[in-house]
Amino acid sequence: MSSVTLEHVTLWRRTQEEYSFDLKRRIFALMQRRYRKPHRRRVLDDVSVTVERGEKLGIIGPNGSGKSTLLKVICGILAPTSGRVEARGAIAPLIELGAGFDPDLPVADNVVLYGVLLGHSREEMEAKTPSILRFAELEEYRSMPVRVLSSGMAARLGFAIATDTNPDILILDEVLAVGDEAFRNKSRSRIESLWRDHVTVLVVSHDLQFIRDSCTSAIWLDGGRVRAAGSAAFVVNAYLGSVETSAVERLERAKATLR
Ligand SMILES: Nc1ncnc2c1ncn2[C@@H]1O[C@H](COP(=O)(O)OP(=O)(O)O)[C@@H](O)[C@H]1O
Ligand SMILES: [Mg+2]
């Protein structure tokens, strides 16, 4: 049974330029006939992916290729402009760790809120708070506002909450390198235990070796399009081949200009 399905998903986003929307400037521009239509970019372009239950899907590609956007669409944070998205079960998203915290509330309250946000009950989260704080090594910060945590600590907290709540779908966006060496080892073994279960995992990582060794399948995104999809080994090798080729091409071109 499929766990995550995307059919012909396309997403247009406005570029940052339009966020600095200034009415007065726009009116002046109109008067001077300089009005340009707001710039929009196709961030995801006709993406179709099916992830089976228990599958471990790696998502690779250069910066800005749409990997994080794809995960946000799957979590329901962003709605596609066109196409269909379906995800079955409880999702634990680990994207931009700690982004969902309220900086002024105590750490313990944030644990409950974040868990409720992920679809768990308040009672369940209250019962789990001690073990979550223990795993995050933040027990003594229990009553302090999240604001006092370093970004590494907030990341540890986000990781501990998301992985302590028995998700059906675990979404990891470049979070395998959270915290110091000791915490990394601890989080790796927790991820490995989820890996063995029937949890569906979608993971974005620049660690291609990890993707090749730990994922069953992979997709390679490039400019919002799926450039390759298939077994993790096949996709990683195709990507590496292209990266190497383009480096060689660049070198050749640079040499040619010197001649
Ligand atoms: N908040 C945003 N508003 C508008 N465009 C965005 C926003 N976030 C990302 N983008 C654009 O979407 C594209 C894909 O970004 P992203 O999904 O973050 O790439 P990746 O995770 O692969 O590095 C980029 O061109 C980026 O500039
Ligand atoms: Mg990203």
Summarize the confidence of residues 18-47 as an average pLDDT.
72
Regarding the beta carbon of 69 and ligand 1, being less than 6 Å apart is answered: yes
pLDDT for 99:
62
Between 32 and 114, whose confidence is greater? Answer: 114
Summarize pLDDT for 205-229 with one digit per residue, the tens. 988 998 999 899 999 999 999 999 9
Tell me the pTM: 0.80
Taking the domains of the chain in order of start, what are their residue ranges? 2-258
| Closest atom, ligand 1, to C-alpha of 66 | 17
Q: List the residue whose alpha carbon is closest to atom 19 of ligand 1.
A: 64
Q: What distance in angstroms lies between residue 15's CA and the mean position of ligand 1's atoms?
A: 9
**CA dist., res. 28 & res. 184, Å (int):** 54
Percentage of the chain beyond pLDDT 70 is 88
Ligand number, closest to the Cα atom of 220: 1
Q: Are 6 and 85 in contact (CB under 8 A)?
A: yes
Summarize the confidence of residues 108-124 as an average pLDDT.
89
Question: Considering the domain 2-258 in this protein, what is its CATH number?
Answer: 3.40.50.300
Ligand number, closest to the Cα atom of 70: 1
Q: What distance in angstroms lies between residue 67's CA and the mean position of ligand 2's atoms?
A: 5
Neighbouring C-beta atoms of residue 140, cutoff 10 Å: 9
Between 175 and 68, whose confidence is greater? Answer: 68
Regarding the beta carbon of 64 and ligand 1, being less than 6 Å apart is answered: yes
Site to probe by mutation for ligand 1, drawn from 17, 43, 59 as the one with most ligand atoms within 8 Å of Cβ, is 43
Summarize pLDDT for 138-194 with one digit per residue, the tens. 999 999 999 999 888 888 898 888 888 788 999 988 876 666 788 888 888 888 888
Ligand number, closest to the Cα atom of 95: 2
Mark residue 230 as left, alpha or beta (left: phi above 0; alpha: psi -120 to 50; beta: remaining): left
Report residue 18's pLDDT band, with 50, 70 and 90 as the boundaries: very low
Our measurement of the distance from residue 32's CA atom to the centroid of its chain's CA atoms, rounded to an integer in Å, reads 43
Q: Are 94 and 159 in contact (CB under 8 A)?
A: yes
Instruction: List the strands of the sheet with 82-87, edge to edge.
Output: 40-52, 2-14, 82-87
Between 31 and 223, whose confidence is greater? Answer: 223
Q: Is the pLDDT of residue 122 over 80?
A: yes
Summarize pLDDT for 231-246 with one digit per residue, the tens. 999 999 999 998 777 7
Q: List the residue whose alpha carbon is closest to atom 26 of ligand 1.
A: 64
pLDDT for 76:
87
